[in-house]
Amino acid sequence: MKFLKALPVLLLLWCYAPAFAQTVVLDSLFTALKAEKNAAPRAQLLNLISGEYSDSDPDKALEYAKQALTVSRNHKLPQQQGDAWLNMGNANILLSKYTDALKAFTNSQSVYEELIKSDKSEDVKDGLARAYGSIGIVCNRQNNYARALEYFFKALKLYRETRQDDIAARIYNGIGVVYESQKEYDKALKYYKQALSLQEASNDETWTVTTSNIGNIYLAMGRDDDALATYKTAEKGLADLTDRSYLGELYNSYGNYYRKKGLLQEAKEYYNRALALFNEDEALFGASATLEYLGRIAEQEKKYKEAVALYTKSAEYGAEVGATGQVKDSEKALSELYEKQGNLEEAFRHYKKYSAAHDSIVSSENIKALVREEMNFEFERKEVQRKLEIEKKQALYNEQAKRQSLLLIFGGLFSLLVFGIMFLGYNRRQIKKTLTLQRDLAEYEQKALHLQMNPHFVFNCLGAISGFIVQNGKDSAIKYLSKFSKLMRLTLEYSKESLIPIDKEIESLQNYLELEQLRFNQIFDFSIIKDPTIEDDMALPPLLVQPFVENAIMHGLVPKKERGTITVDFRLHNEKLVCTIADDGVGMKKSMELKQDSVTVHKSMALEITRKRLEVIQAFTAKEAKVTIEDGADDQGNAVGTKITLYLPIQYLSDIK
């Protein structure tokens, strides 16, 4: 699966190229530049020249991008300025100057975000999408996966709006790479398949690479038969690609499959095919990995002399192309093989080489971590700058409002007609300001409401922990306390957010339900279902579902006095996010009869707060948000549980400004 590492580079070239770029020779561009006197075409030509140099000479690409930036700044050409920043970022990332690249891309983002306020053309949306995608790639390179996903999703939304399905497919691939890097194979598979769907619809020849990626995911997930079938599909298309290294990597994947199955001869056959292709194209990186695979098989077959030669060649190739990870793996294999043969001197010599490669990788990771911290600081600095700009604009707006009021009063002294006209204008601004304040108030009210935690639940949890300790159930107490602390951490972590990802709400519910299972001696089972069509970027207010789940346990399942079930189901229906909480307890009517003389105050408060939150959500989004509660019944009319259904407007994290 090593060729997946090349995918961010391909995505970089697909995303960064300026929208106006054409395949032209440098000589003709320089001739046109020499004759052109107008600023806008000159800035455009300089950006084109920078783009032409991006593959062969990043230093020159950076030089001409800076010239384009100077011209576009001096003559106030925002779109050319945004593209110049993109070209500078492109050059810096190819020079491995990731912090400088990030600064350039965020500057492009700022230019395009300001421009899109007045110009919502597809060219401007495309420029902003390229800035978002570029930031995502830099973050992915530095293993800052959360930021990478955030910006990939922002870019994806714009590319789908402008119907650029070919680039959207690359973004889906990039998201798949991020999830694969985190070993979240289910999510990686989902986004690779979405990329493949778009590529097949547009007859994009890179569908074969995506198909091969999907096969590697299947192999990692243990779905070996699916992996083999997918490799065979990919092979038909990869044979026609000009770059034969992809076919070589596919042969390596075949070899990995057969080696996993214990079919060593078949594995060797495919590894040798891959090696022949890599040697033919002088692709030492791929050859280095293949030689190591062959060395593993030779070692399994106890052909130690052959294994030593293969490992040695693998390490040499890896060192030649700077593949430190490959050097580390091969030198470690050599050290262990010599130790197995009793040749301790050679074992120690190769161990030192392995150790040096390992230390180099650790040092590289430390540098990467420092760059990642610097990048995070840059993000935070930009956010502070943005807030200061907003405050500055608000202060300017307030000052202008005061001056306008004085002008209105002064104008009223001269003419009632002028006063009337200006009063209408002033009144309109005041209404707009009031509506803005009401919207802000609704948002703050929503945040305040979801901060109201249930102290009764907290005290019950602490009481249960105390009971476990008194009864010498130390293991249960530790387990309970661990889950309780995790739930509290999640609650506090997201208490300041107005929206959180659905997966985080599900994680919080999972912890809460496991706590209640421990607390009530496993008297119920539960399941949480999420519709696969729900995007990872979809969100809802935090702690919105938990009060209803708690009510189902306390008033539905506990009075039942026998094992019960709770199901929480998230689905999309009629452009709404629908959450259903169903239990097979005693039912609402029976629960009210049992609890008539001991109504628990905090429960009703929790439900009342949740109803208020739904009202706030409805006011904030201008879309319906409601809850329905109904009892189930069997054929004889006996209560068999309660079903609570929440209807919420669809909201996305990427919509938060």
Kindly indicate the confidence band of residue 2, based on its pLDDT and cuts at 50, 70 and 90. very low
Q: Report the alpha-carbon distance of residue 522 to residue 519 in Å, rounded.
A: 8
Compute the half-sphere exposure of residue 5: CA atoms within 13 Å on the CB side of its CA: 8
Q: Is the pTM of this model over 0.85?
A: no
pLDDT digits (tens, 9 = 90+) for 145-193: 888 888 999 999 999 888 888 889 989 998 998 998 888 999 999 999 9
Q: What is the DSSP string of 580-601?
A: EEEE-SS-HHHHHHHTTT---H
With beta carbons less than 8 A apart as the criterion, state whether 446 and 541 touch.
yes
123 lies in some domain: yes
Q: Any bridge partners for residue 578, and if so which? A: 571, 647
From 162, 188, 213, the end of a domain falls on 162
Q: What is the mean pLDDT of the chain?
A: 80
Give the type of residue at 57: D
Q: What is the pLDDT of residue 581?
A: 95
Which residue would you say has higher pLDDT here, 653 or 430? 653
Kindly indicate the confidence band of residue 528, based on its pLDDT and cuts at 50, 70 and 90. very high
Question: Which of 361-370, 547-556, 637-646 shows the lowest per-residue confidence on average (mean pLDDT)?
Answer: 361-370
pLDDT digits (tens, 9 = 90+) for 445-492: 555 444 454 455 566 667 767 777 776 567 777 777 887 887 777 777
Q: Report the alpha-carbon distance of residue 487 to residue 465 in Å, rounded.
A: 15
Tell me how far CA of residue 557 lies from CA of 510, 523, 525, in angstroms.
17, 8, 10
Q: Any bridge partners for residue 565, and if so which? A: 525
Pairing of strands 538-540, 651-652: antiparallel
Q: What is the DSSP letter of 538?
A: E
Cα-flanking dihedrals φ and ψ of residue 635, to 5°? -65, -25
511 lies in some domain: yes
pLDDT of 300 strictly over 70 = yes
Q: Report the alpha-carbon distance of residue 616 to residue 293 in Å, rounded.
A: 60
- By CB atoms closer than 10 A (0-12, 13-18, 19+), residue 23 is exposed
With beta carbons less than 8 A apart as the criterion, state whether 292 and 329 touch.
yes
Grouping H, G, I as helix, E, B as strand and the rest as coil, residue 415 is coil
Q: What is the pLDDT of residue 464?
A: 67
Which residue would you say has higher pLDDT here, 608 or 275? 275
Specify the CATH number for the domain of residue 113: 1.25.40.10
Q: What is the pLDDT of residue 193?
A: 93
Pairing of strands 639-649, 626-633: antiparallel
Specify the CATH number for the domain of residue 589: 3.30.565.10
Closest among 582, 601, 496, 506 to 546, alpha carbons compared: 506
Q: What is the pLDDT of residue 353?
A: 87
330 lies in some domain: no
Contacts of 166 (CB under 8 A, 6+ apart): 198, 199, 202, 204
Tokens describing residue 429: 């601004």
Q: Any bridge partners for residue 68, and if so which? A: none
With beta carbons less than 8 A apart as the criterion, state whether 370 and 392 touch.
no
pLDDT of 592 strictly over 70 = yes
Q: What is the pLDDT of residue 3?
A: 39
Kindly indicate the confidence band of residue 518, based on its pLDDT and cuts at 50, 70 and 90. confident
Contacts of 59 (CB under 8 A, 6+ apart): 91, 95
Sequence-ordered alpha helix ranges (H) in 223-323:
224-238, 245-260, 264-280, 284-300, 304-321
Question: Which of 178-187, 328-337, 429-438, 559-568 shows the lowest per-residue confidence on average (mean pLDDT)?
Answer: 429-438
Tell me how far CA of residue 411 lies from CA of 364, 398, 400, 418, in angstroms.
69, 20, 16, 7
Sequence-ordered alpha helix ranges (H) in 342-415:
344-414
Compute the half-sphere exposure of residue 447: CA atoms within 13 Å on the CB side of its CA: 12
Sign of torsion over alpha carbons 601, 602, 603, 604: positive
From 162, 185, 203, the end of a domain falls on 162
Domain count across the chain:
2
478 lies in some domain: yes
Q: What is the pLDDT of residue 18?
A: 40
Q: Any bridge partners for residue 627, and if so which? A: 646
Grouping H, G, I as helix, E, B as strand and the rest as coil, residue 118 is coil
Q: What is the pLDDT of residue 445?
A: 52
The neighbour count for residue 463, using CB atoms within 10 Å, is 11
pLDDT of 6 strictly over 90 = no
Q: What is the pLDDT of residue 328?
A: 87
Kindly indicate the confidence band of residue 67, based on its pLDDT and cuts at 50, 70 and 90. very high
H/E run at residue 568: strand 564-573
Question: Which of 278-292, 381-395, 569-583 shows the lowest per-residue confidence on average (mean pLDDT)?
Answer: 381-395
Tokens 């209807």 belong to 647
Q: Any bridge partners for residue 569, and if so which? A: 529, 580
Q: What is the pLDDT of residue 21?
A: 38
Average pLDDT over residues 189-199: 92
pLDDT of 606 strictly over 90 = no
Average pLDDT over residues 578-597: 81
Average pLDDT over residues 402-424: 72
From 106, 140, 162, the end of a domain falls on 162
Q: Report the alpha-carbon distance of residue 405 to residue 653 in Å, rounded.
A: 39
Long-range contacts of 619-625 (CB under 8 A, 24+ apart): 619/438, 619/442, 620/439, 620/442, 620/443, 620/446, 621/649, 621/651, 623/649, 624/576, 624/649, 625/649
Which residue would you say has higher pLDDT here, 592 or 80? 80
Rg over alpha carbons for the chain, rounded to the nearest Å, is 31
First to last CA, the chain: 37
Helices 122-141, 145-161: axis angle to 10 degrees equals 160
Contacts of 538 (CB under 8 A, 6+ apart): 501, 502, 577, 650, 651, 652, 653
350 lies in some domain: no
Percentage of residues of the chain with pLDDT beyond 70: 79
pLDDT digits (tens, 9 = 90+) for 13-65: 444 444 333 444 688 888 888 888 899 899 999 988 888 887 778 899 999 99
Q: What is the DSSP letter of 239?
A: T
Range of the domain at 506: 448-655
Q: What is the pLDDT of residue 153?
A: 92
- Helix, strand, coil percent values for the chain (each to nearest 5): 75, 10, 20
Q: What is the pLDDT of residue 381?
A: 61
171 lies in some domain: no
pLDDT digits (tens, 9 = 90+) for 92-131: 888 878 788 888 998 999 999 889 988 888 889 999 999 9
Q: Report the alpha-carbon distance of residue 54 to residue 60 in Å, rounded.
A: 8
Contacts of 394 (CB under 8 A, 6+ apart): none
Which residue would you say has higher pLDDT here, 241 or 334? 334
Closest among 34, 33, 94 to 60, alpha carbons compared: 94
86 lies in some domain: yes
pLDDT of 377 strictly over 70 = no
With beta carbons less than 8 A apart as the criterion, state whether 249 and 273 touch.
no
Kindly indicate the confidence band of residue 4, based on its pLDDT and cuts at 50, 70 and 90. very low
Percentage of residues of the chain with pLDDT beyond 90: 24
Tokens describing residue 384: 């502070």
577 lies in some domain: yes
pLDDT digits (tens, 9 = 90+) for 306-346: 989 998 999 898 888 777 888 889 889 888 888 888 888 98
Q: Report the alpha-carbon distance of residue 271 to residue 249 in Å, rounded.
A: 9
Average pLDDT over residues 248-254: 90
